[in-house]
Structure formats: structure tokens, C-alpha cells
Chain A
Amino acid sequence: MSTKTSVSGSTVVSREKKRAAAMRTQRSGLRARWVRWTFLLPAILYILLFYGYPLYYSFSVSFERYDLQAEITGMAPFVGLTNYLTVFHNPVFQSVALHTLFFTMGSIIPQFVIGLALAVLFTHRFPLNRLLRSLFLLPWLLPLVVSATIWRWLFDQTNGIIDQLLTGMHLVPAHFGWLTTPVWALVAVTIANIWIGIPFNMVIIYSGLQSIAREFYEAAAIDGANGWQAFRYITLPLLEPVIGIVLMLGLIYTLKVFDIIYVMTGGGPANASQTLATWSYNLSFSQQLFGQGAALGNVILLIALAVAVVYVWWSGHTAKTYA
């Protein structure tokens, strides 16, 4: 007789289901349990081998002075937190951190706002709605290298159309070096990143909007609310969980961004568009300082985890508000 009690205080019906499931396995004995594990085992092994072990390796390398010499001789002395301290005290680190902050915030907020506006637009019924919505996915599905190459061409100093457009409107001097001027290099990659992130935001927010029941809006219309009031008092509050997910995922994905920046500016000029991710790559593979590169890579991971933890806390907190 099972003396297990379910945690959530389930009803009699689901307890029956659980008992039936347990009896199913018990009836066939140990063999059935063992067989079922074979379905899951490859995945568990895969996770341990391809995420667990490399992460462990990354942390252990970050505590060693692992450079080109170590790669050749196979000897890497343990140096504790030296790599982390070296990276933090590197004068480049401060500007890289600032760039990452600007790049991240400067990408997520416009992506979200534009995605939200588009999602709201697409909730209306109009001809071509379906077609346009699926066309919007194209930028997200292209290889990032392709998008980065296109944007590099758009921002080209000599013949890029952006330069020609803005010069024609007398906003900038002719042949402005967008990708070769500090500050503007970072702005350029941010703009490209916004473009790439809009479809994702739009799709997720759109499905969130779709799940808000029509009755709310009808009730509001009867009460005399206009479109903007309905948006502020019905749409936004009910969209909160989706907004939380989109912003959290956006933050983590933006921390990961590498291809765009590497292909458009290579982190230059002189680290002017370098972010934590591109600099980690630079340390490992351009400077062969694998220990420091691994250290920085781990820092990025920890930041991403912190974001996830904050999100979990926040969503639990707001769930209680509505409970």
C-alpha cells in the first residue's frame, strides 16, 4: 500500500491516476522501470558530457595559468583566482562592461517596444495578416553571419546606403566611418541586434496577447474605456508573465551575442565595440590566454544565471500577488 501523499493536495481523481500508474509499473515489475530509463539515459549522458564536463573544465582551466605554453607542454600551474583578478583589473574591462550594459539595454528595450507595437497591430483582423506575420520571422531565421554581413554593407563607409541616406539629408558628413568610429561602432551593432531581435519579441508577445480573453475588452468597452485605457488596465497587467519571460530571455540571449559584433566590427576599433562575450573569445583565441578567457566566460555564465534567478523570484512574487 503506498503511503506517499502528494505535495499539492491533489483531488481523489489524480491520486487514483498516480496509483494506477504505479500499479502499471509494479505489474510489469522491475523490468519495465529499467526499460523506461533507457529512453532518458542518452539525454542524461549527453547533458553530463556536453554541458557538465565542459563547464567543469572551464572552471578548472580558469583557475590555472593556461596559455599557449600550457597547451604545448600540457602543464598548467594552479593560480587560484589570479585569472579573474587579472581580467577585472585589466583597464579594458571597465569599458567592455559598459559596452555590454549599453548594448544589452539598448537592444532589449527597443526590441521589446517595437515587438509589442507590432504584436498589437497583428491582433487586429486585416487582410494579409497571416502572410505578413510569417514574413516577419525571416530575419530571425537567417544565419547571423548573413545578417551581420548585410548590416556591415548597409553601414559601409564608402557606398553603404545608410551613409548615403543620412548624408543626403545633411545629417552627417559624407562617408562617415560608422563601423570605424568609437561609440558609433557600438551603436551600429546595437541597431543590427535590435533588427534581429524584433521578430522573436513580436511572436512571443503576440501569442501572449492572443491568450487574453475577449470578454475583458468587451467589459471594458461597455464601461466606456477607450483603446489606450484598455491597453493600460487590461492588456499590460495580463501580459505581465509574458513580458517577464520575453525580457529575461532577451537579456540572456543578448549576453550571448557574438556573431554580429565579431563580423561587423571585430570588437573594434580598439575595443570600442567589445562586449564581455567578444572579449572572452579574444582573450582565449586571439591572445591564447585560455585561463583568462575561460574566467570571463564563466563570469558571463554567472551573470546569466543571476538573471534567471531574479526572474524566478520575480515571477513567484507576482504569482502571489494575483493568487
Chain B
Amino acid sequence: MQIQGQYRSKTYTRPRVPIVATIAGVVATALMLFPLYWMIANSLETNQEIFSIPVSLIPTSVTLTPYATALATQIPHLITSIIVALGTVIVSLLIALPAGYALAHFHFRITVIIVFCLLLTQMIPTVTLSTPFFLIFNKLGLLNSYGGLILADTTYAVPFDILILRAFLSSIPYELVEAAFVDGSDEWGAFLRVIMPLSIPGIVTAGLFAFLFAWGDFLYALTITTTNQIEPISLSIYTYLGQFSSQWNDLMAVATLAAIPAAILLIAFQRYITAGLTSGALKG
């Protein structure tokens, strides 16, 4: 009986499973991504087609008019979003990189407390912070400003980035820094010249998440802007929805525009994102 068992585990093959699994995977993915397909398909339809009943699953009269309309109105908002998101990335990395490095390699007694606080900050609901942010920024004159938005959006990114960078940087051996000491370098010099070039993957991952968090922010954009001077795309979709609530093809075009950065970054940096997600959630 035992010999038969050993035989089975070596030669046991289930040739049918891979194809069944692929079919199941494709169906599941298709169902999951259907809303996205729907958004893009509807953004290419004419007014007649989008309101036709029964609805057409594949657009028959493809038109780019909704995109023309969307671009005509949304470019300033897209630029605002880019500015705010890039600003968030820069500020977040400036704070998170040295901190992640310090928490990874320097043996402070309060390291555990700091890591604990970072995990705690990620649990603070954004709604809880929105009221004090509004009141404080109002007093400081930071409402309706790029600076205010950037600072508010960094609260999404900084703790997450510190934890991710700490995980990435702890895999770089400190011996490399000590070698630089021997060559006459100091801590910051070694950090900038030795560690930074080696931590590009970590920097990219952290920057990516900071960008996506800031790009997708809605609540702070909603609360910190009281006029339409500065309106990131996340907020302008919402106002567009309120103004033109039945122009769904145009709305879907605007939505697709807002979704493009996420899609591009996901495709280009897919490895970094899955690595960042698992390291941030499990090791942190």
C-alpha cells in the first residue's frame, strides 16, 4: 500500500486542471473587470446609443466626441492632480526615506514605539482628520492652496511609505555603509551615495503608492477646497456628475481620463505594487 502511495505522488498528474483553472480565471477576471470595460465602452458611444434600451454591450457607433468634451473641460483639473500628486510624492519620500533607513538599521530604543505609532496612524479614519484639518488650515490660510492639499495628501502616504521603505532597506546590509565609513564618509554621505542607488526599487514602490493615494484622494480635496480655484480631477468628476448627471458618455470619458494614470502605473510597475502590498501589510 505504501509503495503505491509513493508512486502516486510522483506520477499523479491532473492534465485537465490547468485548462479548467484558466477558464475559471478568465471568467472571474472578466466579471471583475466588466465595470471598467463598461466605463470605456460607454465613453465611446453617441448620445443616442447610450440611452438606447436595450443597452448595447458593444458600442456600434464609436465616437470620440465625449473625449473631446471631457478634455475641453478637464485639462486644468488633470494638471492640478498631477501637481498635487507629484508634490505628495516628493514630500513623502523626503520624510520617509531617511526614516525608513533609520528604523531599519539604527538601533533606537523607541523604534518599536515609532513603528507602532505608524501602524496606528494608518487606522485613523480620514473623516476624523478632515474636521481638524479644515479648521486648522483655515486658520493658517492653507485652504484652497496646492500646499494645503499636498500636505493633507501626505498623510495617506508617509506612514505607508516609511513601513515599505523600512522593509526594503533592511535587506541592504549595513556592511556596505561601514565600508564607506572606512573610506572617510559620514552617515548622510554613505546614505546618499551607497544606500540610495541600491534602494531604487523601494523608492519606486513608495513613490508609486504615494502618487496613487494622492491622485485618488477625494475627501481632502472636498473639504480643503471651498471655491473652484483648485480642483483635482477626483473632485471635478463629482462636480461634473452633479452638473451633467445625464451625460453619461461624457461622464465615462472623464472617469476614464481620471483612471488612466492608475492603469499606466499598474501596467508599468506591476511587480513593485504586489511587492509593496504584501510587505506593507504582512511585515509591517
Residues of A that sit less than 8 Å from B by CB:
18, 21, 24, 32, 35-36, 38-40, 42-44, 46-47, 50-51, 53-55, 57-58, 61, 66, 71, 118, 121-122, 124-129, 132, 134-139, 141-147, 149-154, 156, 158-159, 161, 164, 168, 195, 198-200, 203-204, 207-208, 218, 221-222, 242, 245, 249, 252, 255-256, 258-259, 262-263, 277-278, 280-281, 284-285, 290, 293-294, 297-298, 300-301, 304-305, 308
Contacts and interface: CB of A to CB of B under 8 A. Distances in A.
B55 A297 contact: no
B107 A18 contact: yes
B35 A150 contact: yes
A37 B191 CA distance: 14
Contacts, number: 280
B60 interface: no
Residue among B24, B114, B215 with the highest chain A CB neighbour number at 10 A:
B24
A32 B187 contact: yes
B255 A149 contact: yes
A35 B190 CA distance: 12
B271 to A, nearest CB: 9
Contact of A39 (B51, B102, B126): B102
Interface string B162-188: 100000000000000010000000111
Contact of A147 (B35, B53, B136): B35
A159 B25 contact: no
A132 B25 contact: yes
A53 B187 CA distance: 31
Contacts of B162: 43
Contact of A150 (B29, B155, B255): B255
Contacts of B155: 50-51
B69 interface: no
A124 to B, nearest CB: 5
Given A198-B32, A297-B128, A159 B107 contact: no
A151 B235 CA distance: 17
B73 interface: no
A146 to B, nearest CB: 5
B204 interface: no
Contacts of B125: 255-256, 277, 297, 300-301, 304
Given A146-B258, A149-B241, A153-B252, A136 B282 contact: no
8 contacts: A40-B98, A43-B99, A132-B26, A141-B212, A168-B54, A263-B218, A285-B222, A285-B223
B19 interface: yes
Nearest to B256: A146
A174 to B, nearest CB: 9
Given A40-B114, A256-B125, 9 more contacts: A38-B188, A39-B106, A42-B95, A135-B32, A145-B237, A158-B51, A258-B218, A281-B219, A297-B129
